[in-house]
């Protein structure tokens, strides 16, 4: 038994995760083929859970995200004139986290895997190391969501209380990149916040776009597009969150890639991400209006 | 269900002409079950119905979905169960541990000796120790909007599940033992072939040029099964649903075959031993030199086999709550001992649900019957039976009813 964590039964310490030779994921029927300027269809539902104050569920390809909002709940301690806002992201223990995946992905596609890659793969701990602490990627997602939603929620309306957001990734597309996951999570959080009835300045919608070396623009890049960039290798991804009804104010911005970023490139990224964000916002709005009218 | 009503009362203060009237207060059932669970439960029970609008003997609805969404190779099986409003997602994954023969060979040898004695004696088959069975390692997370350490309930459930699986002898050690294969590459055709030793091979061993076991590391490798539970919408005690979900998931587990590459076998050692390997294979048992430090065990997910469970103890759990209520109709039976409890009767509630029932029902019976393999007579064996007293009188009759209900429920869950 591990003496590090006495509260959980986590099994023998010297146990090793399984290592699959042919770790190429099975071709899934859920991989959407789409044009570069299209976004993938997604499934959304609110109010799936009854215990939290608000919840939303989002499904894109194999990625399943469940967000629950607890709050506003009263907190103990000294008086605070506005609500305290916290975000927690957790992957289910057996879900591959994208930071490991990027390594695994490199290892698969590149025949000249280095010794280091092999070791990384071999020592992958699928639980991300520990049940009690958060992995890098979980922290990264939490901090993005926290900073993006802070301007949206009217915290002054809820003094001396706390609003907690719990994000659970039930399943992740094996080769998806982190940014694509963040955009899904962010849109799911918006819906959950609406469902909880917490007052917002605006619903936040998030778009993701990729620009390649030859200025090709890809909205909502998927697994299939990930395969394309491995030959060339030069690309830049940006996930950007907007408040579309507040003059498209940008509330979150994260880039990844290896292209040199200049002003014109940033402008293109913003414009394209905004295009996607607006499409998503339109979908969310229609869903919410449908819900009101059906009730 | 209409809201509850607290009787109005007139308070007449002496010496004061003024009469205060307390107006009746109305609460909706959700509020009342928080502030006065006993009152709410009593009001419902008097109407022969429960706060969840189920009848006393009615279980919660259950929906089992073992969609094999194999998005992840590490995940051996995954089940989503919806029980009432509660959603349980259970995933099982495995890890590999190595048992070094050099370190505790004496213990293993003695246990092998023990096995040989008992396996040869059919009358003693059921008397194996628990050391011949494997537990699972459960991690239970109940979504309640809390950060940080696991709650008491999560820890208690995990420990109970761990103990129950180990002591009920559900998973024999032999089902999790890895039969290591070896992959050879033909130097001329570059064709890769993986050999696994099985019973047929051993029969034909003498005809073969080599003994496959010589190439293998002498240490034993085992799978360890880990189960994670994620529970949403908790609305009552969770043990039954967690145990049912775990059994259903375990029945779907397929373990991968595991092999090592021939390059990892320490060839010179094999060459040295090949001359007399067939004569005495146990001779180099304590030599740990067939293993490299970083031996890579490779799993083949296209080549899997189902996990073999001890079918003779499979059954599904049910919990019953017992609670007193005022008799609705006067009974004509002769009262043996007339006392204050005359007007009370104990009723049995299946699948405790909701705050009112959970806080008021302390008398509970938890039963895991063993399902009959052949649908002939009832067998009266149980994997687990616990009675918790909590003030209500649990009669023989009620216990019989609980046992009967639990068997029916278990059969029903098995058939799903």
- By residue range, what is the domain housing residue B322? 318-415
Best of A5, A8, A121 to substitute, by most chain B Cβ atoms within 10 angstroms, is A8
| B84 and B16 in a common domain | no
| Tens of pLDDT, residue by residue, chain B (416 residues) | 444 444 444 444 455 567 788 888 888 888 888 888 888 888 888 888 888 888 888 899 999 987 655 556 677 888 899 998 899 999 888 888 877 554 444 444 555 555 555 555 544 445 556 678 888 999 898 988 887 788 999 999 999 999 999 888 888 888 888 888 777 777 777 777 777 766 555 555 555 555 666 666 667 788 889 898 999 988 889 999 999 999 999 988 888 888 877 665 555 345 445 444 444 444 444 444 433 444 577 887 777 888 888 888 888 999 999 988 877 555 444 444 445 556 788 888 988 888 888 888 888 999 999 887 665 556 678 889 999 887 888 888 999 999 999 988 998 988 88
| B115 and B207 in a common domain | yes
**B53 occurs within a structural domain:** no
What is the nearest CA distance from B152 to chain A, expressed in angstroms? 9
Domains and CATH numbers, chain A: 43-294 (3.30.230.70)
**B217 occurs within a structural domain:** yes
What is the nearest CA distance from A215 to chain B, expressed in angstroms? 33
Q: What is the mean pLDDT of chain A?
A: 80
Q: What is the DSSP letter of A172?
A: -
| B180 and B223 in a common domain | yes
Q: Measured over all CA atoms, what is the biggest interatomic distance in chain A, rounded to whole angstroms?
A: 60
User: Which chain B residue lies closest to A163 (C-alpha atoms)?
Assistant: B145
**Residues 307-336 of chain B whose Cβ lies under 8 A from any Cβ of chain A:** none
Q: Which pair of tokens denotes residue B189?
A: 């055709």
Q: Is the peptide bond before B196 cis (omega within 30 degrees of 0)?
A: no
- Please, are residues A190 and A204 in contact by the beta-carbon 8 Å criterion? yes
**Residues 39-68 of chain B whose Cβ lies under 8 A from any Cβ of chain A:** none
- Please, are residues A141 and A182 in contact by the beta-carbon 8 Å criterion? yes
Least Cα distance to B346 among B364, B325, B360, B319 occurs for B325
**B387 occurs within a structural domain:** yes
B301 touches chain A (CB under 8 A): yes
| B209 and B104 in a common domain | yes
A19 touches chain B (CB under 8 A): yes
What is the nearest CA distance from B221 to chain A, expressed in angstroms? 10
Tell me if B256 and A122 make a contact (CB, 8 A cut-off): no
Q: Which pair of tokens denotes residue B24?
A: 């009746």
Q: In what order do the strands lie in the sheet with A235-243?
A: A217-219, A204-212, A235-243, A249-257
| B148 and B26 in a common domain | no
| Tens of pLDDT, residue by residue, chain A (295 residues) | 445 677 888 778 777 777 776 555 555 545 667 778 888 889 999 988 988 999 999 998 888 899 999 989 998 888 999 999 999 998 887 777 765 444 444 444 444 444 554 444 444 444 444 566 777 788 889 999 999 999 999 999 999 999 999 999 988 766 667 888 899 999 999 999 999 999 999 999 999 998 888 888 888 887 666 665 555 567 888 899 999 988 899 999 988 877 788 899 999 999 999 999 999 999 999 999 998 888 7
Structure confidence at residue B93 (pLDDT): 85
A8 touches chain B (CB under 8 A): yes
Q: Which pair of tokens denotes residue A285?
A: 């709005």
Strand partners, A70: A164
**B354 occurs within a structural domain:** yes
Question: A36-52: b or e for each residue (b if 16 or more CB lie within 10 Å)?
Answer: eeebbebebebebbebb
B391: left (phi over 0), alpha (psi -120 to 50) or beta: left
B144 touches chain A (CB under 8 A): yes
- Strands B254-261, B181-185: parallel, antiparallel or unpaired by DSSP? parallel
Which residues does B61 contact at the CB level (< 8 Å), separation at least 6? B82, B83, B84
- Strands B254-261, A16-17: parallel, antiparallel or unpaired by DSSP? unpaired
- Please, are residues B370 and B381 in contact by the beta-carbon 8 Å criterion? yes
**Residues 334-393 of chain B whose Cβ lies under 8 A from any Cβ of chain A:** none
Least Cα distance to B392 among B364, B371, B351 occurs for B364
Tell me if B149 and A7 make a contact (CB, 8 A cut-off): yes
Residue A249 CA from chain centroid, whole number: 20
| B392 and B374 in a common domain | yes
The angle subtended at Cα B238 by Cα B234 and Cα B243, nearest 5°, is 135
**B44 occurs within a structural domain:** no
**B42 occurs within a structural domain:** no
B302 touches chain A (CB under 8 A): yes
**B45 occurs within a structural domain:** no
Q: Which parts of B47-151 fold into alpha helices (H)? A: 101-120
| B67 and B208 in a common domain | yes
Q: Which parts of chain A fold into alpha helices (H)? A: 98-109, 115-122, 136-149, 178-196, 223-232, 263-294
- Please, are residues B86 and B234 in contact by the beta-carbon 8 Å criterion? yes
Least Cα distance to B294 among B254, B331, B260, B258 occurs for B260
| B227 and B89 in a common domain | yes
Which residues does B355 contact at the CB level (< 8 Å), separation at least 6? B33, B34, B37
| B226 and B340 in a common domain | no
Least Cα distance to A224 among A37, A27, A63, A42 occurs for A27
| B219 and B125 in a common domain | yes
**Residues 62-101 of chain A whose Cβ lies under 8 A from any Cβ of chain B:** 62, 66, 68, 70-71, 73, 86, 88, 92-96
Best of B71, B159, B257 to substitute, by most chain A Cβ atoms within 10 angstroms, is B71
Indicate the residue among B310, B329, B356 that finishes a domain: B310
ipTM over 0.85: no
User: What domain count does chain B have?
Assistant: 3
- Please, are residues A183 and A237 in contact by the beta-carbon 8 Å criterion? no
Tell me if B91 and A92 make a contact (CB, 8 A cut-off): yes
Which residues does B228 contact at the CB level (< 8 Å), separation at least 6? A92, A93, A94, B90, B91, B93, B138, B139, B140, B141
**B127 occurs within a structural domain:** yes
B220 touches chain A (CB under 8 A): no
Residues in B closer than 8 angstroms to A173, CB to CB, are 71
Burial class (CB in 10 A: 0-12, 13-18, 19+), A272: buried
Tell me if B162 and A9 make a contact (CB, 8 A cut-off): yes
The sign of the dihedral angle between the CA atoms of A117, A120, A126, A130 is negative
User: Chain A to chain B, count of Cβ pairs less than 8 Å apart?
Assistant: 131
| B157 and B303 in a common domain | yes
Of A12, A66, A122, the CB nearest to B224: A12
Residues in A closer than 8 angstroms to B96, CB to CB, are 15-18
Tell me if B91 and A174 make a contact (CB, 8 A cut-off): no
Q: Measured over all CA atoms, what is the biggest interatomic distance in chain B, rounded to whole angstroms?
A: 115
Q: Which pair of tokens denotes residue B169?
A: 């002898």
**Residues 94-153 of chain A whose Cβ lies under 8 A from any Cβ of chain B:** 94-96, 122, 126, 131-132
Indicate the residue among B288, B310, B332 that finishes a domain: B310
HSE value, Cβ hemisphere, 13 Å, CA-based, for B272: 9
Indicate the residue among B289, B310, B331 that finishes a domain: B310
| B270 and B151 in a common domain | yes
Which run of H or E residues covers position B32?
helix B29-35
Which residues does B124 contact at the CB level (< 8 Å), separation at least 6? B118
């Amino acid at each position: 038994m591990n003496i590090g964590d006495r509260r959980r039964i986590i099994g023998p310490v010297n146990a090793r995760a399984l290592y699959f030779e042919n770790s190429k994921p099975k071709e899934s029927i859920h991989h959407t083929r789409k044009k570069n300027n299209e976004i993938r269809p997604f499934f959304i539902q609110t109010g799936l859970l009854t215990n939290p104050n608000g919840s939303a569920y989002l499904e894109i390809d194999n990625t399943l995200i469940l967000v629950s909002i607890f709050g506003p709940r009263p907190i103990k301690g000294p008086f605070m004139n506005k609500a305290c806002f916290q975000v927690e992201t957790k992957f289910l223990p057996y879900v591959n986290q994208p930071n490991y995946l990027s390594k695994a992905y490199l290892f698969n596609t590149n025949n000249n895997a280095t010794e280091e890659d092999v070791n990384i793969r071999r020592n992958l701990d699928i639980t991300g190391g520990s049940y009690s602490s958060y992995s890098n990627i979980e922290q990264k997602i939490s901090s993005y969501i926290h900073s993006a939603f802070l301007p949206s929620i009217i915290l002054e309306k809820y003094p001396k209380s706390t609003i907690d957001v719990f994000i659970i990734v039930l399943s992740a597309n094996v080769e998806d990149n982190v940014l694509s996951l963040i955009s899904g999570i962010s849109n799911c959080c918006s819906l959950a916040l609406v469902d909880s009835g917490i007052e917002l300045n605006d619903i936040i919608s998030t778009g993701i776009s990729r620009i390649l070396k030859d200025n090709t623009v890809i909205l909502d890049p998927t697994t299939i597009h990930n395969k394309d960039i491995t030959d060339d290798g030069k690309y830049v991804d940006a996930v950007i969150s907007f408040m579309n009804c507040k003059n498209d104010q940008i509330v979150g911005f994260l880039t990844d890639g290896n292209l040199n970023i200049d002003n014109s490139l940033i402008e293109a990224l913003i414009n394209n991400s905004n295009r996607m964000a607006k499409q998503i916002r339109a979908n969310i709005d229609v869903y919410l209006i449908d819900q009101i009218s059906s009730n | 269900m209409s809201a509850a009503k607290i009787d109005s009362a007139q308070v007449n203060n002496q010496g004061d002409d003024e009469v205060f009237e307390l107006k009746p207060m109305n609460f909706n059932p959700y509020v009342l079950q928080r502030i006065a669970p006993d009152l709410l439960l009593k009001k419902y029970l008097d109407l022969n119905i429960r706060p969840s609008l189920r009848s006393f003997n009615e279980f919660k609805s259950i929906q089992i979905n073992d969609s094999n969404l194999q998005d992840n190779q590490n995940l051996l099986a995954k089940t989503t169960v919806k029980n009432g409003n509660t959603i349980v997602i259970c995933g099982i994954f495995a890890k590999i541990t190595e048992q070094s023969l050099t370190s505790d060979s004496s213990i293993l040898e003695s246990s092998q000796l023990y096995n040989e004695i008992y396996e040869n004696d059919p009358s003693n088959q059921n008397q194996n120790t628990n050391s011949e069975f494997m537990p699972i390692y459960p991690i239970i997370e109940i979504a309640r909007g809390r950060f940080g350490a696991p709650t008491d309930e999560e820890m208690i459930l995990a420990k109970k599940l761990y103990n129950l699986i180990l002591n009920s002898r559900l998973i024999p050690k032999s089902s999790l033992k890895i039969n290591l294969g070896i992959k050879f590459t033909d130097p001329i055709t570059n064709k890769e072939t993986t050999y696994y030793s099985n019973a047929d091979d051993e029969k034909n061993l003498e005809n073969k040029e080599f003994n496959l076991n010589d190439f293998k590391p002498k240490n034993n490798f085992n799978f360890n099964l880990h189960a994670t539970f994620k529970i949403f919408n908790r609305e009552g005690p969770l043990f039954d649903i967690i145990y049912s979900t775990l059994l259903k998931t375990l029945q779907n587990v397929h373990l991968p075959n595991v092999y090592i590459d021939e390059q990892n076998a320490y060839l010179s050692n094999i060459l040295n031993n090949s001359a007399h390997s067939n004569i005495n294979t146990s001779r180099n048992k304590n030599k740990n030199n067939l293993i490299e430090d970083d031996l890579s065990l490779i799993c083949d997910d296209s080549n899997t086999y189902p996990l073999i469970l001890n079918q003779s103890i499979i059954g599904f759990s049910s919990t019953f709550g017992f609670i007193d209520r005022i008799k609705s109709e006067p009974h004509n039976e002769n009262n043996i001992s007339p006392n204050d409890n005359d007007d009370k009767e104990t009723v049995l509630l299946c699948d405790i649900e909701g705050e009112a029932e959970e806080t008021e029902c302390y008398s509970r019976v938890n039963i895991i019957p063993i399902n009959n393999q052949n649908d002939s007579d009832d067998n009266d064996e149980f994997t687990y039976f616990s009675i918790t007293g909590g003030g209500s009188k649990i009669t023989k009759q009620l216990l019989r009813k609980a046992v009967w209900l639990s068997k029916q429920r278990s059969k029903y869950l098995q058939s799903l």
